[in-house]
Amino acid sequence: MELRLKYGCNPNQPHATVTGPPDGLRVLNGNPSMINLLDALRGWQLVRDLKAATGLPAAASFKHVSPAGAAVATDDETPTAAFGKAFLYPDPDSFDWSPLALAYAKARSSDRVASFGDFIILSDPCDLATAQLIKPEVSDGILAPGYSPEALDLLKAKQGGNYRVLQIDPDLEPPATESRTVFGFTLKETYNDAAITPDLLDKTVTENQTWPEHAITAMLTITAALKHTQSNSVAVGWNGQAVGIGAGQQSRIACVRLACDKADRFALKTHPKTLALVDAFKPGTPRPTKVNLIDQFTRYAQLDAGEIAELQAAVQSDIDPITQEEAADWLSHLPGVCLSSDAFFPFKDNLDRAARSNVKYVLQAGGSKRDDDVIAAANAHHMTMALSGLRLFLH
């Protein structure tokens, strides 16, 4: 298989192709670029790992070779009315949600601002319900192992018929080694086939030793996401969803701050005051504008006068911001917040910041000279923490 791509990473790099196994990848619609392919193929490895780890339908939203969000959904899981309103999805009582559609909605909602113009990756064949959720979103394309006829027709019509629709062979296996050429030098390494399994939690080193089932599912989800996120990286999540990913940072604490800040904002989007804001939007407010303004509202204390005025102009009533006390109280009631790191924590400040986001379960590689300090901090914050012994760097 050889495909000519739209262009490389930038339009001034016009020569770009992809080669691979015959029928391993098919372009069903549109003309993908190199970045589209990099996101699609990295994302496929993530949802494949997630499906293997949990047995559940999985979805990911990728931007610039790292996930903006990733999630799984169970057969009996249904979205709440608050979830639908906060993230601009259909009311649960008026839409036929499939497990795959919910996995996609959760993955996209994790960071809707970051997901703007994303590439969508699904572990299972795309059904009509999932395609209906994708249709109004600003997205570059989708990769899945198959499509129902109705879903494919709907997606092909997106973006005036130019939406990129890719299909991958679900039985395709990677070679034992990977290589890339950088500035004339070819680098090779063994393919990272490390499995994300509950065994990673076996070495629990804190006074709290309990891993409830919901925490295990969440930890598998966010750890699988880390395996396919540019390092350094830390992820926060719950309910089978990565809701905060701090990626590509040079220090571990910067990753934690990013991941926790994103998770805090995600949680505040279902706060009653945020839902009241959604109800107050002026008729005709575009969907992308609503997404940005909802995100601004959850950062209200950090906004300047101009940003507050922009927010106020979009609604039909006076804004009632969430106070710091209300935000802290809302976050303190989050259920089973999990945090995973792609390497060890060198200092306890990482757990001190995580505690402010109500993190209760932690997974990290271990192996730092200060492991004892970090374990002591986990105990002080009443966390359950395991040392996986597995580093998941990706560059």
Report the distance separating Cα 354 and Cα 236, nearest Å.
Answer: 9
273 annotated active-site: no
Report the distance separating Cα 1 and Cα 24, nearest Å.
Answer: 8
Q: Decide if 120 contacts 141 (C-beta within 8 A).
A: yes
Q: Decide if 201 contacts 227 (C-beta within 8 A).
A: no
The amino acid sitting at 391 is: R
**Angle, alpha carbons 321-322-323 (nearest 5°):** 110
Q: Which of 6, 31, 64, 85 is catalytic?
A: 64
Helix H, strand E, coil C: the string for 178-220 is: EEEEECCEEEEEECCCCCCCHHHHCCECCCCCCCCHHHHHHHH
Q: Which uninterrupted H or E stretch holds 338?
A: strand 337-341
b/e sequence 217-239, b meaning 16+ C-beta within 10 Å: bbbbbbbbbbbbbbbbbbbbbbb
**Angle, alpha carbons 254-259-261 (nearest 5°):** 95
* 363 DSSP 8-state letter: E
What pairing do the DSSP bridges indicate for beta strands 164-168 and 233-238?
unpaired
64 annotated active-site: yes
Q: Which of 63, 271, 273, 360 is catalytic?
A: 63
162 annotated active-site: no
Q: Which of 29, 36, 232, 350 is catalytic?
A: 232
Helix axes 287-297, 272-280, angle to 10 degrees: 150
63 annotated active-site: yes
Active site residues: 63-64, 232, 395
